[in-house]
Copies of this chain bind each other. A is one copy, B any other.
Amino acid sequence: MLVFLNGQFISEAQAVVSVFDRSFLYGDGLFETMRVFRGVPFRWLDHMARLEQGARLLNITLPYSRDQLRDYARQLIEKNHLPESLLRLTLSRGVGPRGYSPKGADHPTLVMTLHPAPDANGEPIPQWRVVTASFRLPANEPLALFKNCNKLPQIMARAQADASGADEALLLNTLGEVVEAASSNLFWIADNVVCTPPLNSGILAGVTRLVVLEICQSLNIPTRELGITPTNLPRVQGVFLSLSSWGIVEVTHLDNQPLGRSPLVNKLQSAYAQIITEHRS
């Protein structure tokens, strides 16, 4: 597999960064993970917009334009013959002097890697069992909106899911609301309204979350952004997660208890599949 690193296509073994790189030292960077369908990254512009906004907040200068990155991504997919894949793009602040201050770190590192898509072998969309993790996300945290390289709470949550044989873990925020899962956004259905926590609850501004809200709008399904307590979540009509790799994944069990199931989830999955089929640009 070839890797894109700072303008070059190199082998995985050669794809290395300095031990003084700030993303290695402090997680001082951002990333995006996109599903590639038929050679084309899905929702490329949404991912770029989030990356650029995050880079502005962190004050990291993107070393390439959108068009250059798009062309490098195209070349990477072609060179690796992986038209059905996941594309990860990492932007690190790069090497700088010791210490937290970003002063003097002016040469960002940009990496793109390709990974086999989980469903590229024709696997059907799975249904997931989730557990509630004990690690909390700060509410009202502007950094959380972007896919930054500080993912220890998510890693710890995911390890708790692994330990109990679950597929994914839900995280609470510091206000005690269930707000997202380790690598996916949370939705539930209550009174036939599709609900999801608001962006200021401490969650990632997920691109697939946005697609789900757009689908609801186009199908005239009412939506609402609000918080939910761990006590109320098991009482809703249905729960699902959104993520780039799988799209919309239904949750069947929460902490080993079966959840309600709503036909709306399949309806949304079909609409999502339709969007993917039409996706070409």
Measured CB to CB, the residues of A under 8 A from B are 3, 5, 12, 15-21, 23-29, 31, 57-59, 86, 88, 90, 92, 98-103, 111, 113, 115, 135-141, 143, 148-159, 161-162, 174, 182-183
Closest residue of chain B to A97 (Cβ to Cβ) is B115
The complex places the Cα of A31 from the Cα of B24 at a distance, in Å, of: 11
The complex places the Cα of A102 from the Cα of B138 at a distance, in Å, of: 22
Q: How far is the CB of A206 from chain B (nearest CB, A)?
A: 14
Closest residue of chain B to A245 (Cβ to Cβ) is B99
Q: How far is the CB of A255 from chain B (nearest CB, A)?
A: 19
Pairwise interchain contact B24-A17, C-beta atoms closer than 8 A: yes
Pairwise interchain contact A135-B143, C-beta atoms closer than 8 A: yes
Q: Is the interface of A mostly helix, strand, loop or mixed?
A: mixed
Interfacial chain B residues near A151, Cβ < 8 Å: 25-28, 100, 150
Other-chain contact of A111, B3, B19, B138 (Cβ < 8 Å):
B19
The complex places the Cα of A5 from the Cα of B17 at a distance, in Å, of: 13
Interfacial chain B residues near A162, Cβ < 8 Å: 101-103
Q: Which 10 A-B pairs rank lowest in CB-CB distance, beginning with the nearest?
A: A27-B27, A150-B150, A16-B16, A26-B151, A100-B158, A174-B174, A24-B24, A138-B138, A15-B19, A101-B158
Interfacial chain B residues near A27, Cβ < 8 Å: 23, 26-27, 149-152
Number of copies: 2
The complex places the Cα of A64 from the Cα of B137 at a distance, in Å, of: 33
The complex places the Cα of A158 from the Cα of B153 at a distance, in Å, of: 22
The complex places the Cα of A115 from the Cα of B19 at a distance, in Å, of: 13
Q: How far is the CB of A147 from chain B (nearest CB, A)?
A: 10
The complex places the Cα of A159 from the Cα of B100 at a distance, in Å, of: 8
Sample (24) of A-B pairs whose CB atoms are under 8 Å apart:
A5-B19, A12-B18, A19-B90, A23-B23, A26-B149, A26-B152, A27-B149, A27-B150, A28-B152, A57-B156, A58-B152, A59-B159, A99-B158, A100-B182, A100-B183, A101-B155, A101-B159, A101-B162, A102-B159, A103-B162, A135-B141, A135-B143, A143-B152, A143-B156
A183/B99 contact (C-beta < 8 A), A143-B135, A174-B138 known:
yes
Interfacial chain B residues near A148, Cβ < 8 Å: 152
